[in-house]
A = this chain, B = another copy of it.
């Protein structure tokens, strides 16, 4: 049996333990494992007619190569957001240009036929894709094209539909809580408002859970538009009640002020994603102008997905990798590994395309008080997803 594995989308801690587990379990069964490098850009750029010139796009994975990778964050296979069904001009490898002409006005081409040819040439029996929505949706597409695939979900934001947990979420929360608790020292010493901005374009879950566990004063999430006048009043009260005379608000990147828009800045990137950013300073300026209280703004940004995985992401990363190989050994493919009802289980490979995860405001958020509130703990999942 010959497996291929790749990682796509933003990196998170926990990818390397998954890769290591796949290699370890596959090797124990006498199988071989090839890594595609840089997500779907790997098979896209592999030229079957020039294996030597393509060596930068694949990697032979043996136990000795992966022995210590689980201790570090990121992905040794590297990653991109490339999607072979939607290849833009700048992404198209030169050797494919004759096959995929792009007349003026063409935005992108679908290079799936090439990808299928590569998998065939390399004699890949099963392809394991580790990624978020974008990455996994193309794996589902390949499965529809007849390629046996397995999907493993990861995202810092825990927003892949079909699973209660994605690799990277716990580390993100652990880091964020730790940072916020450290930031209490300057916020308190200066008696200011502290605005902590966190990534989270569509889902406020990472902000919500972080705000809950760090027990900050208020948490603004993507799902609930913000009445900034009210928040300014609430924070002023919070600050007055705090014997150290400061208050903290966590803001999700995707949050928006009532009557305003999501705060975007900069140009759209190649994938049409504009950098949101900006909500932290926007909230900070609005608080300062309404209250006169000085404000510190800290964007946690990449720091919450940098460095080594915590125990939970070691656990889920390793188990998802092991499970993928165990399933393949049982003859099963076309699945996404998942956690539901607190247990490891599987869903169809395309499950992530069937819906979107977001915070259940009703059960987890007090939209009047702008903070998490668990209406009834009993019956909730352990990590409140």
Contact = CB atoms under 8 A, between A and B. Distances in A.
Contacts of A297: 301
A379 B376 CA distance: 26
Contact of A379 (B307, B322, B344): B344
A319 B189 contact: no
A311 B208 CA distance: 13
A285 B269 CA distance: 12
Contact of A213 (B186, B190, B318, B339): B318
A179 interface: yes
A243 interface: yes
A245 B67 CA distance: 13
Contacts of A298: 301-303
Given A75-B189, A213-B314, A343 B306 contact: no
Decide if the interface of chain A is mainly helix, strand, loop or mixed.
mixed
Interface in A353-385: 374, 376-384
Given A186-B74, A302-B183, A377-B323, A213 B315 contact: yes
Contacts of A79: 189-190
B181 A382 contact: no
Interface in A249-266: 266
A257 to B, nearest CB: 18
A208 to B, nearest CB: 12
A327 interface: yes
Interface stretch (A106-114, A139-147, A170-178, A222-230): A170-178
Contacts of A322: 374, 377
A189 B378 contact: no
A314 B73 contact: no
A319 B377 contact: yes
A174 B11 contact: no
Interface string A24-45: 0000000000000010000000
A377 B64 CA distance: 24
A334 interface: no
A72 interface: yes
Contacts of A177: 311, 314
A71 to B, nearest CB: 5
A299 interface: yes
Contact of A306 (B186, B215, B294): B186
Interface in A141-174: 164-165, 170, 173-174
A29 to B, nearest CB: 14
Given A190-B78, A342-B339, A342-B382, A310 B310 contact: yes
Interface of A: 7, 10-11, 13, 15, 20, 38, 64, 67, 70-75, 78-80, 164-165, 170, 173-174, 177, 179, 181-186, 188-191, 209, 212-213, 215, 242-245, 266, 269, 285, 294, 296-299, 301-303, 305-308, 310-312, 314-316, 318-320, 322-323, 326-327, 339-346, 374, 376-384
Given A73-B182, A80-B190, A341-B342, 15 more contacts: A7-B189, A74-B188, A78-B188, A78-B191, A79-B189, A79-B190, A165-B382, A182-B307, A185-B306, A212-B315, A312-B383, A319-B380, A322-B377, A342-B381, A345-B379
